[in-house]
Amino acid sequence: MFTSAVANAIADGTVNVAFRRWSKARVHVGTSITTSAGVVLIVRIDEIDPNSISNDDARAAGAASRQELLATFRGSEHLPVFRIEVRFHGADPRESLRADTDLDGDALRDLDATLRRMDLRADTPWTTSYLELVANRPGVRAADLAASVGSDTAPFKLRIRKLKNLGLTHSLDVGYRLSPRGRHYLEISAKRLR
C-alpha cells in the first residue's frame, strides 16, 4: 500500500495521511500494515470529495502538490476517494525474529510443529524444499523460483510470505534470502537427518 519512500516518511513523522481512490475502503481503523520501514497503523479513514484536497493535504501525504497527488490516483474518476490517517506503530516484529537463532527446546518444537502443519495442509510437503531453494538461489526472481518448482508465481509468493512471517526468509529488492534464523533451522534439520 505504501512505497518505501512513503513508508520511511511515515516512520519519521513527515507523512501522516494517505489518499486512495478505491471502489470501497480496503482498510479499517485499527488495521496495521507491515511496510519496509516497519508497522503503520490506520488511525482514521473517511470518504471525501477529491475537490476538497488542498496542497497542504498533498504535502501531508508526501506529494509536492495537489496535482501531483491527484495524478497518483488509479481507477475511474467515478470511484470514491478516501482520506486515510496513519501513524508509525513500530518496528516490524519479524526483524528481531529473523535474527533470533535460539532454536533450542520449545522454540524448535514449536517451529517444527508449525512447519509440519503447513505441510499437512498442502497437497505435498513444501516447507523444507522452499527453504532449501531460497538458500541455494538467493536473489533470484520469484517467478523463476516458482517455475523451478512447477508453481505459479502468486501461490509461490504466498508460501514464501508464510515462511517470512515465521522469521525464516527475508525479501530482497529481487528475490529472497534466508534469514539467520532460517539458515540455522536448515542446519539443525540437516544434522537431524544424519
Domain ranges of the chain: 4-91, 94-193
For the chain, the average pLDDT equals 93
CA dist 136 → 99, 166, 175 (Å): 19, 19, 12
pLDDT tens figures, 48-69: 999 999 999 999 999 999 999 9
Distance, CA of 92 to CA of 2 (rounded, Å): 15
61 within 8 A of 15, measured Cβ to Cβ: yes
Q: Evaluate if residue 98 carries a pLDDT over 90.
A: no
Cell numbers for 158? 504466498
pLDDT tens figures, 147-194: 999 999 999 999 999 999 999 999 888 999 999 999 999 999 888 876
pLDDT tens figures, 120-157: 999 999 999 999 999 999 999 999 999 999 999 999 99
- Considering the four listed CATH numbers 1.10.4030.10, 3.40.47.10, 1.10.10.10, 1.10.3720.10, the one that applies to the domain covering 94-193 is 1.10.10.10
The pLDDT value given to residue 130: 98
